[in-house]
Amino acid sequence: MRSRVGAVAALCLLLVATSTSCSSSKNPDGPPGPTRSVTLWDPSAGRPSPSAAADGPFDAAAAAQRIKRLGYTPDDEPGVLKALRGPFRAVHGHCTGSVDGRCVSVFFFQGNAYVGYDSPGVNESTIVKQDGRTVTISYPVFTTTDPMCCPSGGTREVRAALKDGKVTFTPPLPGNPNGPNT
């Protein structure tokens, strides 16, 4: 009788563990992990409201929480994020739990409203500057024979801005900003 109770208890624990760990991996809030996608803007974010577009204080804690819900960790401390000039701001983040740091993204906010990100699956990028209206991002370019440590293809620099409620890139951002020109 005891072995049956133990077996039933073990089965129940197994079912509970399986049901919680097998939940859907899709994240409706924004950029997925490293799978490629041509979507560069989160359409569910919509256009920022007039109050969100004001050049007021940046809610760094809310921005960091939003980025964490997307599976990333902001690279800067809240004090640095609060000091970002707006209303258009960019926050660099890396995939939470990444052991080599080769999974990064740039998240854009208009006021305090999340409005999109650069591209999923980026290996490396740097926010060069931001002035509240545009953000300049640099991507090292890896050739097909480069090891992950050593890009030899120079850099690709793009400017991001918010136009008609969407993040736009000049020049247009390729599907893999770290890849060679094709």
49 vs 114: CA distance, rounded Å: 11
Q: Is the model's pTM score more than 0.85? A: no
Q: 107 phi and psi, to 5 degrees?
A: -110, 135
Predicted local distance difference test score (pLDDT) of residue 37 = 32
Q: What pLDDT, on the 0 to 100 scale, is given for residue 9?
A: 52
Q: Indicate if the pLDDT at residue 49 is higher than 80.
A: no
Taking alpha carbons only, the member of 132, 159, 108 closest to residue 55 is 132
* Residue-averaged pLDDT of the chain: 77
Contacts of 143 (CB under 8 A, 6+ apart): 151, 152, 153, 180
Given a cut of 70, is residue 170 above it in pLDDT? Answer: yes
Tell me the pLDDT band of 48, cut-offs 50, 70 and 90. Answer: very low
Q: Average of pLDDT values for 72-99?
A: 91
- Residue 47 pLDDT > 80: no
Element (H, E) at 66: helix 60-69
pLDDT of amino acid 60: 94
- What's the mean pLDDT in 22-38? 39
> How many percent of the chain have pLDDT more than 70?
69
pLDDT tens digit sequence for 108-129:
999 999 999 999 878 999 999 9
- CA angle at residue 80 from 76 to 86, to 5 degrees? 110
Tell me, what's the pLDDT at 101?
72
The per-residue pLDDT for 139 is 96
Compute the radius of gyration of the chain from its Cα atoms.
20
CA pair distance 57, 32, nearest whole angstrom: 28
Helix (H) or strand (E) holding 53: helix 50-53
By C-alpha distance, which of 121, 180, 174, 119 is closest to 153?
A: 180
Selection from 128, 134, 127 nearest residue 159 by Cα = 134
- CB atoms under 10 Å from CB of 165, counted, come to 15
Helix (H, G, I), strand (E, B) or coil at 120: coil
Mean pLDDT of 60-89: 93
| Section 55-71 average pLDDT | 91
Quickly tell me which residue has 């609060």 as its tokens: 82
Higher pLDDT, 36 or 45: 45
Ramachandran area for residue 168 (φ above 0: left; ψ -120 to 50: alpha; else beta): beta
